[in-house]
Amino acid sequence: MFNSFLAGSLSVIDILLPIGLILIISKLLGIGAKKIGLPQVAAMLLTGIILGLFYQFIPWVHDNVITDTGIEGIRFIAEIGVILIMFSAGLGTDVKQIRATGISALVITGLDVILAIGLGFLASGLVQGFEGTVSFTNTAGVEVVVDKFWSNLFYGVILSATSVSVTVATLKELGKLNSKIGTTIVSAAILDDIIGVIVLSVVLSLSSTGSASTGAISSILTGWNVNSIVSVVLSTILFFVFIFLLGLLIRKIFNHLERKYPHHRRIPIYGLAICFIIAFLSEKVFGIADITGAYFSGLLLSGRQSSKYIERRSDIASYIMFTPVFFAKIGLTTHWEKIDPTFLLFGILFLIAALVGKFAGATAGAKMTGNTWKDSLCCGAAMIVRAEVCLVSAQKGIDAGLINPNIQIFLIILIISTSFIVPLILKAAYKNDQMQQLDLLNAIPTDNNDANKNENETNTSADISEANEIKAENN
């Protein structure tokens, strides 16, 4: 893809109109999605689907609006979007909350990840078989032959991730976010992503016909005749040692920056620089997927005084262009005409595995750790929601030629349906609890004058804080 830039076959003019259309349509659909309770991700995916249908079935659009070279440029920009999405996911990880929930989140995560991966593996194996090889065309247009075991396993890995954003918004609305089950659900979802990212990197490293990845360390170890599996394990261990040591250094640097330049724009700039550098080193040196490096770079900067500020500023850069382009690209590059009856059968089994694996595992884990049946079932329902990390994981598998690119169609169905259904389930389950909370609040006498005074003081304080933040950035 990058060679297209060097060879001059891709001009900037080829991507200007498609990007403009993506941004406008995704924003308009996003407004509508927000009104009906769907996440912004759904709007961005629908944008890609709409433009993709025009691109694939209307020749004039294909020749004049969204050209083949324009798609290549969109893919290039989308790769940056992937890195920024994973960096933001790492920044939003609350390690302290995971510690606070103790063993409960670990049990839930362990069971739902194992069941999701296992059922995804089984669903794939039932359709494409468990032995022999299978071939897929990767993002670069190259046909890749892989062992069916690794392909089946990667389909399961895709299902290991959980989206917490939709569930958090619903639990917050119901007043359940800070309850025992609320904090447990959020912590388990965070652990799902951490474990999923690690498993993804290991599978990618081993999946190339059973050989280790092409990182510098793996190449050195291979030159020393070290077994491929041992090479991957050693590279992974060295990566985490590197992350730990780098984390100590980053901690000292950012302690100094936060004291000297609180809420200054140079802090998120340094944060993004660290993200890109670690993402590069993780893949080129350690043979670990670049998205893993991006995620852990965000994790290193999470829980700090400046974490929310870095996350907010990096999200502005990401969501203005890179993130909408990434999600739209998924719909744009999905070939609807290539869905045959066999793959349709697999898609249905894949969706069943996605729902049953998470629901059964999380429900059993929650019940085993002392929660009521009601809370346990709600935990199971909450964990079936998927979004960004699921799509990013699938994209890495497509890039490597491990899975069928059209699996994205069923992931889109999974994301939109669960994002819509799960909030309804949780609201129905906790409706009576919410009514009881409202009755208690109504029973407490309030002084309207005091309330208005406190609100005015809060608003004034917020205005002063925002003004100071802008002033600090301009210095």
For residue 126, the domain's CATH number is 1.20.1530.20
Could you read off the pLDDT of 129-181 as tens digits, one per residue?
A: 999 999 888 877 788 889 999 999 999 999 998 877 777 777 877 778 778 88
> Under the phi-then-psi rule, with left for phi > 0, alpha for psi from -120 to 50, and beta for the rest, what region is 136?
beta
On whether both 452 and 421 belong to a single domain, the answer is: no
User: What pLDDT sits at residue 208?
Assistant: 64
Could you read off the pLDDT of 405-455 as tens digits, one per residue?
A: 889 889 989 988 888 888 888 888 887 765 555 555 555 555 544 544 444
CA distance 304 to 96: 11
User: What pLDDT sits at residue 85?
Assistant: 87
Rg (CA), the chain: 23
Q: Tokens 């993002």 sit at which residue?
A: 139
Structure tokens at 167: 């569930």
Do the domain assignments include residue 323? no
On whether both 416 and 450 belong to a single domain, the answer is: no
Residue 128 identity (one-letter amino acid):
Q
CA distance 358 to 353: 8
Q: Where are the beta strands (DSSP E) in 82-228?
A: 133-137, 143-147
Do the domain assignments include residue 389? yes
User: What pLDDT sits at residue 225?
Assistant: 66
Do the domain assignments include residue 63? no
On whether both 310 and 449 belong to a single domain, the answer is: no
pLDDT averaged per 10 residues, the chain (length 475): 52 90 93 83 88 89 88 89 87 77 87 95 94 86 89 94 77 78 86 86 72 64 70 86 92 87 85 93 87 90 85 85 89 78 92 95 93 92 87 88 90 88 87 59 53 47 47 46
On whether both 196 and 287 belong to a single domain, the answer is: yes
Do the domain assignments include residue 329? no
CA distance 161 to 318: 21
pTM of the predicted structure, to 2 decimals:
0.78
On whether both 307 and 427 belong to a single domain, the answer is: yes
Query: How many domains are there within the chain?
Result: 2
On whether both 378 and 450 belong to a single domain, the answer is: no
Structure tokens at 258: 């936060």
- Residue 346 belongs to what domain range? 82-314+336-433
